[in-house]
Amino acid sequence: MASIDRYSRQTLFPGIGEEGQKKLGNSNVAIIGCGALGTVIATCLVRAGVGKVKIIDRDFIEYHNLQRQVIFDEEDIRDELPKAIAAERHLKKVNSSVKVEGVVADVNYANIERLVAGADLMLDGLDNFETRFLINDVSLKHDIPWVYGGCISSYGMTMTIIPHKTPCLRCLQINPTSGGLALTCDTAGVIGPAPFIIGSLQTAEAMKILVGTEEINPDLIMIDAWKDEFNHFKVGSRADCPACHGEYEFLEARFGTRTTSLCGQNAVQVLNPEAKEVSFESLAAHLRPLGEVNYSEFMLRFRVDNHEMVIFPDGRAIVKNTSDEALARGLYAKYIGM
Ligand SMILES: [Zn+2]
């Protein structure tokens, strides 16, 4: 009976009901990116009793995240936890009946299909269009719906994509490299209410998709949390959209980069898709004569000259205190090896 009491306020709502609650409990979702949007979506879906929630994120937590990333706290930063691990630990305490799985990984063309295998739905908590287009390709290829969300400054956007039924993200004709936005978190910042609103709208769409209602909203929604503006835009399918015609350009790695400047962090991520599992023990032994090294189960930190690198078990590194991608690639090649 405990489980019925737990969801009583939600099952009383006619859009969900007892039947909808059962469907939520049998559902499997993947949340890709666990920043402001991802934390809002994850906490709502775990509380709502979605059966399996996988949270995939490549990053660790910093103080400037706490202003809007709603499930993290100062202790997570002191413990140097990756976001995916901290999210899993917090959310398991919120609802022990949900299978919450945190995965520390950079989602890329080589791993996305494996990471989202079995998911009924994908939710976008990302900060870049390159990975969103990858999700879009996987959605169309494997027939998995997804909900796009993005925020900057006081603005936010969201759109629901039901593959082969509604227009996809590439139908919008956004430039893959610029993302169609001149602003980034680095230059424009972001206030908490914008991702809280967009993450909530994404969660409502997720619940509707999972309970199987026909009331899905196919419009592009744009909001301004500061000016209290909400706008709907009708989006049409594009006749020459590559993804809608089975050309998965991002999944086939015809676009894609190995270095990415991280939104709002003055840091660059370097990927090494060829890397196998990295042994921190042997890497630390190799780096110790060259600089300062320490490592935990989740990451290895290496300081040399004025640079700091954080290396993850999948061979990925974040080079801090620079936005120079060439410099970051050079440091990676020098100390970790390509
Ligand atoms: Zn399309």
Q: What is the pLDDT of residues 251-261, one digit of tens each?
A: 987 665 577 77
- Spatial neighbors of 191 by CB under 8 A, at least 6 apart, are 68, 153, 154, 225, 226
Confidence of residue 275 (pLDDT cuts 50, 70, 90): low
Q: Does residue 30 register a pLDDT over 90?
A: yes
Separation of CA 200 and ligand 1 centre (Å): 25
Q: Could you tell me the pTM of the whole model?
A: 0.83
- Give, as one character, the DSSP assignment of residue 145: -
Please give the distance, rounded to the nearest whole angstrom, from the Cα atom of residue 169 to the centre of ligand 1.
6
pLDDT in tens, 38-75: 999 999 999 999 999 999 998 899 999 999 999 999 99
The residues carrying an active-site annotation are: 185
CB 337 within 8 A of CB 309: no
The number of helices, as runs of H, and strands, as runs of E, in the chain is 12, 14
Name the least confident of 193-197, 255-259, 291-295.
Answer: 255-259
The dihedral region occupied by 181, where left means phi > 0, alpha psi between -120 and 50, and beta the remainder, is: beta
> Residue 225 Cα, ligand 1 centroid: separation in angstroms?
28
Å from CA of 271 to ligand 1 middle: 28
What does the alpha-carbon distance between residue 198 and residue 35 come to, in Å, rounded to a whole number?
13
Distance CA 124, CA 114 (A): 17
